[in-house]
């Protein structure tokens, strides 16, 4: 009797864990039924906290893409400089000057060497220098951007009565002092005119270089630009009176750009 009452009492005690038969009914009540309710309530509460951070990130991205405008470069440390790109570089204006007439000085009037005109026009002066040939002159230029277009022609025009009409040879040589100017050949020799049609002006000094080594680089200096020496070999003549001569520069399109008076006198053997 005692054992029977104890066994019946123990059967009435609550179980510490539900039996396997109760698990299918208990798990859906704990997990699936509560997950959608918790997710739908969590996201609306999180969005107001994330919205300021999203707006700030979008603003910073737009500011980095648009750039800073036209502000001057700023030192960012370490020797580096921050440069703003404002747009493509505009093309340079063409360096073509219209033809014009120059008033030549009277015969015998000397033009001072190295004196540029008041308006800054690029000018070539001719000056006599001692040389080894029968007559040697040096062409020097002062001005800005003279010969910026490669292939300009250089003419030495003079009074036909001042030199023999039977001149058949002209020796071209470079000046090693400042060889900016090179000539590949003499295109034409006739009474009164010597044409150096393949002349080019170089920015780099080419020691005894030819026109192919020149490459047509541009001159941008504001000082003396070129020096070149050439010998005039004339039959039966001992003097060339330079005050009666002039230098003409022609562009590749054959337009007459500059007519520059020259001064001085060169005699045979290079003596002035």
State the CATH number of the domain containing residue 264. Answer: 2.60.40
Are 199 and 185 contacting, i.e. CB atoms less than 8 angstroms apart? no
List Cβ neighbours of 113 (8 Å cut-off, separation of 6 or more): 125, 127, 140, 263, 264
> What pLDDT shows up at residue 230?
38
SS (H, E, C) 191-232: CCEEEECCEEECCCCCCCCCHHHHCCCCCCCCCCCCEEEEEE
What's the structural domain count of the chain? 1
Phi, psi of 85 (to 5 degrees): -90, 120
Which phi and psi (to 5°) does residue 133 adopt? Answer: -90, 175
- Answer whether residue 128 is part of any domain: yes
**What's the chain's Rg over C-alpha atoms?**
46
pLDDT of residue 175: 34
3-state secondary structure of 178: coil
* pTM attached to this predicted model: 0.26
CA distance 247 to 179: 19
Cβ atoms of 120 and 146 closer than 8 Å: no
SS3 at position 37: helix
To the nearest whole number, what is the mean pLDDT of the chain?
Answer: 46
What are the beta bridge partners of residue 260? 247
pLDDT at position 193: 54
pLDDT score recorded for residue 59:
79
- Please report whether residue 6 resides in a domain: no
pLDDT tens sequence across 28-70:
554 445 555 555 556 666 777 777 888 888 878 887 765 554 4
180 burial class (0-12, 13-18, 19+ CB within 10 angstroms)?
buried
175 in a domain, yes or no? yes
Q: Characterize 235-264 residue by residue with b for buried, 16 or more Cβ atoms within 10 angstroms of its Cβ, and e for exposed.
A: eebeebbbbbbbbbbbbeeeebbbbbbbbb
Query: In this structure, is residue 244 part of a structural domain?
Result: yes
| pLDDT tens digits, 5-21 | 555 555 555 555 555 55
Cβ-contact 102, 119 below 8 angstroms: no
pLDDT in tens, 181-227: 433 344 444 545 555 433 344 434 433 333 333 344 333 322 222 33
> CA 137 to CA 131: how far, in whole Å?
8
148-176 tens-digit pLDDT: 334 444 555 554 444 433 333 333 333 33
Query: Among candidates 226, 107, 132, 106, which has minimal Cα distance to 175?
Result: 226
Residue range of the domain that includes 169: 123-270
pLDDT tens across 62-120, in order?
877 655 544 444 444 444 444 444 445 545 544 444 334 434 333 333 333 344 445 44
38 occurs within a structural domain: no
Q: How far apart are CA 248 and CA 135, in angstroms?
A: 20
Residue 254 lies in a domain: yes
Q: At residue 256, does pLDDT exceed 60?
A: no
DSSP three-state, residue 152? coil
The answer to whether the CB of 235 falls within 8 A of the CB of 164 is yes
116 is a domain residue: no
Report yes or no on 237 lying in a domain: yes
């Amino acid at each position: 009797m005692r054992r029977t009452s104890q066994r019946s009492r123990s059967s009435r005690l609550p179980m510490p864990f539900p039996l396997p038969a109760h698990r299918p009914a208990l798990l859906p009540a704990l997990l699936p039924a509560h997950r959608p309710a918790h997710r739908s309530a969590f996201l609306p509460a999180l969005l107001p906290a994330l919205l300021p951070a999203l707006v700030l990130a979008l603003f910073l991205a737009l500011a980095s893409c648009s750039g800073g405008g036209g502000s001057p470069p700023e030192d960012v440390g370490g020797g580096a400089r921050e440069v703003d790109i404002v747009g493509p570089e505009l093309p340079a204006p063409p360096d073509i000057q219209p033809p014009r007439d120059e008033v030549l000085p009277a015969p015998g009037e000397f033009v001072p060497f190295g004196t540029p005109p008041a308006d800054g026009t690029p000018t070539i002066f001719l000056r006599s220098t001692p040389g080894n040939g029968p007559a040697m002159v040096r062409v020097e230029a002062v001005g800005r951007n003279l010969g910026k277009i490669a292939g300009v022609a250089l003419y030495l025009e003079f009074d036909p009565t001042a030199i023999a009409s039977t001149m058949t040879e002209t020796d071209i040589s470079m000046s090693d002092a400042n060889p900016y100017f090179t000539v590949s050949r003499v295109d034409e020799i006739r009474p009164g005119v010597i044409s150096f049609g393949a002349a080019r002006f170089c920015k780099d000094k080419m020691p005894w270089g030819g026109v192919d080594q020149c490459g047509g680089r541009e001159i941008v200096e504001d000082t003396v630009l070129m020096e070149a020496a050439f010998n005039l070999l004339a039959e039966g003549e001992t003097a060339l009176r330079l005050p009666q001569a002039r230098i003409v520069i022609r562009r590749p399109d054959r337009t007459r750009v500059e007519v520059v008076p020259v001064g001085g006198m060169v005699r045979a053997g290079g003596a002035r």
